[in-house]
Amino acid sequence: MPNIVVVGAQWGDEGKGRIVDLIAEKVDVVVRYQGGSNAGHTIVTNGQTIILHHIPSGILREGKLSVIGNGVVIDPQIFLEEIERLRAAGYKVDEENLKLSDRAHVVMPYHKQVDIAREEKMGRNRIGTTGRGIGPVYEDKVARRGIKVGDLLHPESFSARLRAVLEERNLYLTRVLQKEPLEFEKIFEEYIRYGEQIKGFVTDTSKLLNDLIDKRKSILFEGAQGALLDVDFGTYPYVTSSSAGSGGACTGTGVGPTKIDMVLGVAKAYTTRVGEGPFPSEISGEIGEKLRESGGEYGSTTGRPRRCGWFDAVSLRYSARVNGITAIALTKLDVLSKFNKIKICTAYKYRGEIIKDFPSHIEILKNCLPVYEEIDGWEKDLSDVKDIKDLPYQARAYIDRIQEATGVPIWIVSLGASREKVIFLKDNLL
Please give the positions annotated as active site.
13, 41
Q: Which range touches ligand IMO (CB under 6 A), out of 58-66, 125-133, 170-178, 197-205?
A: 125-133
Give the other-Cβ count within 10 Å of 357's Cβ.
Answer: 11
Contact between 40 and Mg ion (CB under 5 A)? yes
Give the dihedral sign, CA 132/138/139/145: positive
Please report the sign of the dihedral spanned by the C-alpha atoms of residue 408, residue 412, residue 413, residue 414: negative
Half-sphere exposure of 99 (CA within 13 A, CB side): 22
Q: Measuring CA to CA, which residue among 421, 425, 274, 415 is closest to residue 336?
A: 415
Handedness of CA 379, 382, 385, 389 (dihedral sign): positive
The residues with which 99 forms a beta bridge, in sequence order, are: 67
Candidates 409, 377, 368; CA nearest to 281 is 368
Give the one residue of 3, 66, 130, 253 binding ligand IMO; rule: CB under 6 A.
130
Could you write out the three-class secondary structure of 87-151? HHCCCCCCCCCEEEECCCEECCHHHHHHHHHHHHHHHHHCCCCCCCCHHHHHHHHHCCCCCEHHH
Beta strand extents in 332-418 (DSSP E only)? 341-350, 353-355, 369-376, 410-414
Dihedral of alpha carbons 19, 21, 24, 26, sign: negative
129 counts as binding ligand IMO under rule CB under 6 A: yes
Closest CA to 310 of 328, 276, 335: 335
Please name every residue paired with 8 in a beta bridge, in sequence order, or none if there are none: 266
> 304 to 363, contacts with ligand IMO by CB under 6 A?
none
Binding mask 232-261 for ligand IMO (x = CB under 6 A): --------xx--------------------
Residue 12 in the binding site for ligand IMO (CB under 6 A): yes
For Mg ion, the binding residue among 3, 7, 8, 13 (CB under 5 A) is: 13
Per-residue contact track with ligand IMO, 32 to 71, x per CB under 6 A?
Answer: ---x--xxxx------------------------------
Sole window of 185-193, 201-209, 224-232, 351-359 interacting with ligand IMO (rule: CB under 6 A)? 224-232
Query: Which one among 93, 137, 220, 224 touches ligand IMO, defined by CB under 6 A?
Result: 224
Give the one residue of 109, 135, 252, 254 binding ligand IMO; rule: CB under 6 A: 135
Contacts of 70 (CB under 8 A, 6+ apart): 101, 103, 104, 205, 206, 252, 253, 254
297 is an interface residue for Mg ion by CB under 5 A: no
- Residue 132: name its binding partner from ligand IMO, Mg ion, none (Cβ under 5 to 8 Å by kind): ligand IMO
Identity at 211, one-letter amino acid code: D
For residues 251 and 418, the answer to whether their CB atoms sit within 8 Å is no
Answer with the entry of Mg ion, ligand IMO, none that 309 interacts with (C-beta below 5 to 8 A by kind). none
Q: Does 416 bind ligand IMO (CB under 6 A)?
A: no
- Residue 40 or 223 with smaller CB distance to Mg ion: 40
Least distance to ligand IMO, CB of residue 285, Å: 22
Least spacing, CB of residue 13 vs Mg ion, in Å: 4
Of 36-44, 209-217, 357-365, 408-416: span binding Mg ion (CB under 5 A): 36-44
Give the binding range for ligand IMO (CB under 6 A) out of 89-97, 223-231, 260-268, 342-350. 223-231
Binding region for ligand IMO (CB under 6 A):
8, 11-13, 35, 38-41, 127-130, 132, 134-135, 224-226, 229, 240-241, 274-275
Binding region for Mg ion (CB under 5 A):
13, 40, 300
